[in-house]
Structure 1
């Protein structure tokens, strides 16, 4: 039986330690997973740098990580859908299954949602062994890599955002922010039939990747640009007013730009959480009858995300710019934090890279 369960534990602000933890004992309805790939999320960086995200505070030693894939090592006696050796992508959150939101399929709104590496659950999955429930472990086809499996978590966010924004065939879309979430939203919007997609950011390197992924146009936002200039430039580059907007930053400047640039009768979906409060042009939204919709994680979006990767509708491999072994976790967080080397998605490997891939990634 394996004994090595090296684990990344966050103790507080910039206090990330590697330590051995006991390998979890599973219940009859659970599975034990030998973890393979874990992506470093912007939320992880916020916890690392600030010790909190909004009202969620790191108040005790906390295993980090939630964008992941792995291989089933052991199954409980009541588990029939998975077997040892199955490669899986791991959806990190589950609702109570009995409240009105869960019964309506909107379990992301469940008041009792249990989400990996988020209080009251302090066990993330940046660890060699992790236990989980089987029905939110999604088997990967042989041709889908473990890295792509780990990327399904941010991709599911993009799928949910595009669904909330009502993106469909012919939609003309503005995406605000071209970090990892903005880029997967771009890929999803294209796969859903958007005819035009313009994406903004303050870093040209990220916009270059967006352009290589097929963005119709990109807009570099500079500090000297006025709000009016930004709106005008969006309309010029798109050749029209966008009827769908997805704000992947969630700060006051992007919330305002999204509303001001949006076409009358359009939809603005806000998924970023940069600021707790924002002053927005509400009257503008009202007279244009713009729907402003919140986006929180995802709900029943993993199957669609996996299907689009598996059938080639979306290619997310180029988002992974850096690879690190779990023993290099601190270095991986520093690269993701500062964007060294044009970092987009930093992947941490709990197993030797490509050990569980059919072909090298």
Structure 2
């Protein structure tokens, strides 16, 4: 099978590898689409991400979908020819996190597609546990199925912030996660303000229904937010960029008693707060890491038209053009790039 490997920092190439064999509880998926995530770009540009270091050669990509071509002997829930989205993390199933109702995503032995040493989905075939693939209903394309992963990140972030009807929400960052976090917040009835420095990303957010956008390269975001919000700050800040300036903005814009959710992963940043301020303003700080039990909601939300994941895609390129796709995805105006592994009909 054809596989795209990261052989060194900034070097991607297509090679031939053996197709994976199946365990009894697995299905073999012919991969169709793979989204390019910010973590993939970190690995591509730096050879590491959040302390995870690549052992070259390595296969990137964890936002994926495809068609089942073979099922293991113990599989009864998935059939050959099913179109599926792949949930990319395999928890150990035995630890205290895996035994919780919704904490398996915190499993410290998690095997995650594309997170070293686990190879990712930029390849023609992936063998994966059947209980971590989800059938796509009619009307949901394979490209949309691949984007159920970043949508799941957004759903989990909004869950962490308890976003609900009537809330005022600041989303910092107009990249793919910021765009999807905004859409989930809008779907829950929130009023959304989004900040970025790239005009194209602000325009996209407006086209997708965000009520207010702020170009923080030319406007004072604190003053602008005061104009939009009837009160001393927003109810919830969802920091989706990982940028130091955006992280610093969170405590300046949240109201007393509000909530801040950090979902964008920074290269290096400190919490922008002091203990006294945290006590006297009594706002809550939350981290948001990956997701759990979100794929059914994400896929149904796409099917029902509540979430328009397709409109965040800036471009799509073939497997042979993966390096060009990664270089293009780095460009500031790009929101989401997708690699087309196969040309099968959606």
Q: Same fold (TM over 0.5)?
A: yes
- After superposition, the C-alpha distances for 1:295-331 in whole angstroms (9 at most, x for unaligned) are 1011111111111111111112211121111111111
Is 232-241 or 36-45 further displaced after alignment? 232-241
Q: Among residues 244, 251, 267, which one is paired with 1:252 in the alignment?
A: 244
Q: Among residues 296, 300, 303, which one is paired with 1:307 in the alignment?
A: 300
**Aligned position for 1:207:** 202
**Aligned position for 2:229:** 238
**Aligned position for 1:162:** 158
- After superposition, the C-alpha distances for 1:7-40 in whole angstroms (9 at most, x for unaligned) are 1101221121110110111111111100000011
Q: Say whether the 8 Å CA contact 1:178–1:200 is kept in structure 2.
A: yes
Instruction: Look up the SS of the partner of 1:143 in the other structure.
Output: coil
**Aligned position for 1:183:** 179
Distance 1:249 1:7 in 2: 30
**Aligned position for 2:345:** 356
Give 1:279 shift.
4.8
Is there any run of 5+ residues in structure 1 with no aligned partner, and where?
A: none
Q: Say whether the 8 Å CA contact 1:216–1:238 is kept in structure 2.
A: no
Q: Say whether the 8 Å CA contact 2:11–2:323 is kept in structure 1.
A: no
Count residues with an aligned counterpart.
Answer: 343
Q: Among residues 138, 141, 147, which one is paired with 1:145 in the alignment?
A: 141
Is 62-71 or 268-277 further displaced after alignment? 268-277
Distance 2:337 2:153 in 1: 17
Distance 1:338 1:190 in 2: 27
Give 1:252 shift.
2.9
Q: Say whether the 8 Å CA contact 2:313–2:335 is kept in structure 1.
A: yes
Is there any run of 5+ residues in structure 2 with no aligned partner, and where?
A: none
Distance 2:229 2:212 in 1: 7
Q: What aligned pairs does 1:85-164 form with structure 2 within 5 A after superposition?
A: 85-104=81-100, 105-121=102-118, 123-164=119-160
Q: What aligned pairs does 1:20-39 form with structure 2 within 5 A after superposition?
A: 20-39=16-35
Q: Given the two structures, how large is their TM-score scaled by the length of structure 1? A: 0.92
Moved runs in structure 1, 4+ residues, more than 4 A?
Answer: none
Q: Among residues 293, 301, 315, which one is paired with 2:286 in the alignment?
A: 293
Aligned-residue CA RMSD (Å): 1.3
Distance 1:209 1:277 in 2: 28
